[in-house]
Structure 1
Amino acid sequence: MFGGFGKNNDRNNEPQTLSQAMQPDNPPRKGGGGGSLSNFDPEGLERAAKAMRELDKSRNATKAFEVIKTQEATKQHESAAKRAEMEAYSQQQRAQNIEREAEEARKTLDAQTQHERHRAEYQDELERKRQVDMLNAQKYMQEEQLKKQEEMAARQEEMRRKTAQYEAELKTKTEIAKAKAQSEGKIRQERENHDLILQKLRMEAAEQRDTVLKAVSDGGKMLGEGLASYLDDKDKLRNTALTITGIAIGIYSAKTGIGIGGRFVEARLGKPSLVRDTSRMTFSHLARHPITSMKRILGVGKNEQDALKGIVLEKGLDTQLRQIATSTAYTKKNRAPFRHLLLHGPPGTGKTMFARGLAQHSGLDYAILTGGDIAPLGRDAVTELHKLFDWAKTSRRGLLLFVDEADAFLQSREVSKISEDQRNALNAFLYRTGTESDQFMMVYASNQPSQFDPAVLDRVDEMVEFDLPGPEERKSMVVMYIDQYLLKPPGRWAKPVQTEDIGEAEIEQVVKETEGFSGRAISKLAIAWQAAAYGNEGAVLDRETFFKTVELHKKSMSTKDLWLEESKARAKMLTADA
């Protein structure tokens, strides 16, 4: 019944519905003026008509048609479901594409942000590096300029010294030649005029004898006549009395003036009681050493001394102190206000030696006092301090006032319990040092600078720490003091010490064993070596005595340190009880 329809399906290789079979393969297009029939296939229409006729003849035509409609509707539903599924899949793909695009955009944005951050960091690093390089370059240029200035100043100073030396030598030669020529001319003249001079002397002697005799005769006559006339004249007697009274008054006035002048000179040349040592001229020094004093007054043999002569220090500290010495010397030459220094560190590290060398290098006078001398003065401390600073201002060259153990006097008024006299003395000291001065320079030395009064620290312009010497400095000190006290001892009659089996290795061993020694302790060790050598016949120092002396010296130092700690503990207990 459906044979024709089935054959048609086989021919087309795919199932077709009735409506599909009835539709032509190439339907005409709309809007084409009736369309083109060149592609029209009449066989399909014939097959459809044939299938319709056979279907109409069948008894189950209605059912078949319903089945066909159902199949067609099912296929349409399936096609709609597929279209919906494809639409959903397309929407899902679009959503996924959007998500992927958003993720790619986010990654791209993150990459751009990270790149910008890296770029900014790199630029910042380059800028910092450029700034550091610029600062280093500026620092290098400043150091080079300062070095050139120092070298120029040193060259100028050397030229000045050479010029002054040449002028002095030339002047000396000229004076010697002049004196020699004058003496030779005078001798020649005396020899040539010997006879004339003798005749002249004889004539002068005869004339003088006659003159004296005549004067004695006339004087006797005049004296007798004058005395008689004087005694008869009352006015002359009255005038004589007045003259004698005036002479007495003049003598008394002269005596009083000499006393005042002496006190004035004493204020200029005398030494205040607080000063332990000074390079200024005093009456006692003038009396004991007149020749040296006159040379010093006239400036004969005056040479500039190295501020660090005989002092061994760490390289950085050495450079800092030399710069301070140079600046102080030029400050004095330019009459600028002096800068006050604080030298702090363990005892025996060269603070006092540097203060003396600084004064001599810069051309200043120096005066040394200790803080422990002020407290026992009591009420007189204020007066003595004023005398000290008045005396300091009279120095023609300027004065470097070195206060050793300054913490004993300049303790904090807020922490330490000090007496009223000490407080007044401290206030007087602060008053005299409160303003800058081009007449004196203060240098403080202390082992405990933390105890200073804040007002004293405010007056300090620069602080320098003297630490214990390191291995290299100790080695230099050992070699220097061995040469100074053993090989070339001071004194005209001192006998040099002969060393046996003492070489570089022994000196290195001593350097290791003197860890914690100060410069003063090493100098005392060298003196102990000298004493040990002089205790032997022939002044010989062998290796055994060399190291034995080191051990004894270390033991003595340990005992001293123990006593010092016990003393500090007792002082602390007494302070706590008070």
Structure 2
Amino acid sequence: MSWLFGYRGSQTPQDFSQLVQPPASGDGAGGGGDQPPKNTMTKTQMEAYRFDSRALERAAAAAKELERSAHAKEALKLAEMQELTRQTEMQMKLKEYEAGIEQMKGEQKRIEGEERRKTLQEESKQHQMKAQYQDQLARKRYDDQLAQQQRMNDENLRRQEESVAKQEAMRKATIEHEMELRNKNELKRVEAEIKAKAKADRENQDVDLKKIQLIASENRKTRLESLTTVGSILGTGATSLLQDWDKILALAGGLSLVLFGGYAAKNSTGVAARYIEAHLGKPSLVRETSRFSVLDTVKHPIKAIKKLKDKNTDALSGVVLAPKLEERLRDIAIITKNTKQNRGMYRNLLLYGPPGTGKTMFAKKLAQHSGMDYAILTGGDIAPLGQDGVTAIHKVFDWASTSRKGLLLFIDEADAFLRKRLGEQISQDLRSALNAFLYRTGEQSDKFMLVLASNTAKQFDYAVDDRLDVMVRFSLPGKEERERLVRLYFDKFVLQPATEGKRRLKVAQFDYSALCSKVAEMTEGMSGRQLAKLGVSWQAAAYASVDGILTEEMAIEECNKAVREHRERVQWQSKEEKEEVSSTYENENADSNSQTKSNLQAIEAAPAN
């Protein structure tokens, strides 16, 4: 049906205006046939605008044919449907255009929001940079104030020192002036007394001489008479003694018995004292021992009874260590126990590591587990003894050899007197004590087991290292070990006193397990002894409170205090180590410089070839 509407769609208003144009010639309303009208056109123009009516004729013929056709209605409906379709498409395109516009608006809003967000981020960044800059300025101002305050303090201190020095100098000058005046006065007084005495002596010289002569003659007569009397008595006694042989023999026998009795009493007293000290007492160097002692039993009977009742079979009860270290120590305990039962040779141990990690506790538990006695010494007690240190060491080892059950001799801080002899300045007394120790430990023993403990094992003498059979390092507890220790001490120092009811101590309701886990995370780097002190501080905090109740906030606060103090100690230790290293380096440089100077002086002093 496109041919039906083809003409309508292709015509323009200009084409339709040509249909109504008046004819170029013929009768018209405006004039005759001879004279052309006013608006006449040329022939060429008329031909250009001439209307072709054949298309209309064909359209009219087609319309008549279509009206006569049986499908006229269907064609009309089809034309209407095509028109509706085109309108629908136009509406869809319009809606798509409107949707595109809305999408563009949404995109524009999103872009605006993104730009606004970027602007806010940039503003916040600028604010942050401004705050950081202000903070830096404040810090710098604070540092400048501190520096200025420090300078002012130094200046005030310097002025005070100068003032004190001036006052001290003035006081010293005053004292010296007073002493000088006193000396002058004393000299004048002594001179006056001497002159007066000399004058008196000169005046009384004759009288004094007579008195001296009289006193001398009397003394001479008295001495002569005394000597005469004593000589006569001794002569008579000697004559009677020499004439009677029974008296001579009795005198010789009495003197011999007196000398023999004194010698025997002296030796027997020494033997008895050594026996009593070895079997009934303990040497003075031993600080603590589980060995039965009559003197300690008399002094502390309750403690002695507790020692007899305390028979622990587990070598690691109450000792919290890393799993691998516990396994190794348990093997050592089993070996020691079997060695004691089979009367074999004991192996010497070295326990080294940071302080407060359980070295002394394990030594006690090891002795109790193996059925041995233990004795605890401290290396710092030997240096004050001086020359008596050698005798004290021999007494300790003699006492240890008399133990029937076997003795575990634990020397804490052993590096105090067992340090290296080469490269270090130690006194002759400590050197002698070290030699005595090496002499008594030169061979393996079935009487005693030697256990040394130290924080710095590298300071031991090489000969001491040769005496040691097993070396065990005790490291700081890890997270799991710290949690076990915290739970142990929280139960020991807080929960048990609170449940007993005898003490003024209560615990608030909170998650104890979570607290112990949190404290274990906070106390990294702390030893077992420091955690035990933390438990005691919890107890003290509860006692210091008004109601005697320990809350979770109080426990956390005490933990923070302990952590801060631990960090300060670590900083002090690091500073001391740095200072020690720097002083050692300076000493080495000074030694090398002095050696270089001496070498140069020797070269200069040598004669030229």
TM-score using structure 1 length:
0.52
> Conserved in 2, the CA contact under 8 Å of 1:500 and 1:541?
no
Which residue matches 1:284? 295
> Conserved in 2, the CA contact under 8 Å of 1:502 and 1:542?
no
The 5-angstrom pairing of residues 353-368 of structure 1 reads 353-368=361-376
3-state SS, counterpart of residue 517 of structure 1: coil
Matched, 1:270 2:270: no
3-state SS, counterpart of residue 325 of structure 1: helix
Which residue matches 2:313? 305
Which residue matches 1:483? 491
CA gap of 1:500–1:294, structure 2 versus 1, over 3 A, is closer
The 5-angstrom pairing of residues 246-261 of structure 1 reads 260-261=271-272
RMSD: 3.2
> Conserved in 2, the CA contact under 8 Å of 1:343 and 1:465?
yes
The 5-angstrom pairing of residues 415-494 of structure 1 reads 415-489=423-497, 493-494=502-503
The 5-angstrom pairing of residues 198-277 of structure 1 reads 260-277=271-288
Which residue matches 1:387? 395
Give 2:527's match in structure 1, choosing from 518, 521, 532.
518
Which residue matches 1:324? 332
> Conserved in 1, the CA contact under 8 Å of 2:277 and 2:283?
no
> Conserved in 1, the CA contact under 8 Å of 2:281 and 2:296?
no
CA gap of 1:302–1:554, structure 2 versus 1, over 3 A, is closer
Residue-by-residue CA offset, 1:129-165 (whole Å, 9 max, x unaligned): xxxxxxxxxxxxxxxxxxxxxxxxxxxxxxxxxxxxx
Q: 1-side partners of 2:269 and 2:423: how far apart?
A: 50
Which residue matches 2:408? 400
Structure 1 residue identity aligned to 2:409: L
CA offset at residue 303 of structure 1?
A: 3.0
Paired residues, number: 332
Matched, 1:549 2:558: yes
Q: 1-side partners of 2:323 and 2:387: how far apart?
A: 45
> Conserved in 2, the CA contact under 8 Å of 1:343 and 1:446?
yes
Q: 2-side partners of 1:480 and 1:419: how far apart?
A: 44
Q: 2-side partners of 1:436 and 1:456: how far apart?
A: 13
3-state SS, counterpart of residue 408 of structure 2: strand
Q: 2-side partners of 1:533 and 1:449: how far apart?
A: 40
Structure 1 residue identity aligned to 2:411: V
Q: Which runs of 5 or more structure 2 residues have no equivalent in the other structure? A: 1-253, 592-609
Matched, 1:346 2:334: no
3-state SS, counterpart of residue 265 of structure 1: helix
CA gap of 1:321–1:295, structure 2 versus 1, over 3 A, is closer
Q: Which runs of 5 or more structure 1 residues have no equivalent in the other structure? A: 1-244
Residue-by-residue CA offset, 1:63-121 (whole Å, 9 max, x unaligned): xxxxxxxxxxxxxxxxxxxxxxxxxxxxxxxxxxxxxxxxxxxxxxxxxxxxxxxxxxx
Which residue matches 1:509? 518
CA offset at residue 567 of structure 1?
A: 4.5
Q: 2-side partners of 1:369 and 1:383: how far apart?
A: 15
Structure 2 residue identity aligned to 1:430: L
The 5-angstrom pairing of residues 113-262 of structure 1 reads 260-262=271-273
CA offset at residue 522 of structure 1?
A: 0.8
Structure 2 residue identity aligned to 1:412: K
CA offset at residue 407 of structure 1?
A: 1.7
> Conserved in 2, the CA contact under 8 Å of 1:275 and 1:368?
yes
CA gap of 1:465–1:274, structure 2 versus 1, over 3 A, is same
Q: 2-side partners of 1:541 and 1:377: how far apart?
A: 48
3-state SS, counterpart of residue 497 of structure 2: coil
Q: 2-side partners of 1:430 and 1:404: how far apart?
A: 17
Matched, 1:533 2:542: yes
Which residue matches 1:194? none
> Conserved in 2, the CA contact under 8 Å of 1:497 and 1:530?
no
Which residue matches 2:322? 314
CA offset at residue 546 of structure 1?
A: 1.3
CA offset at residue 259 of structure 1?
A: 7.7
CA gap of 1:471–1:418, structure 2 versus 1, over 3 A, is same
Residue-by-residue CA offset, 1:498-552 (whole Å, 9 max, x unaligned): 1332433332221111111111111111111111111113321112111111111
> Conserved in 2, the CA contact under 8 Å of 1:500 and 1:540?
no
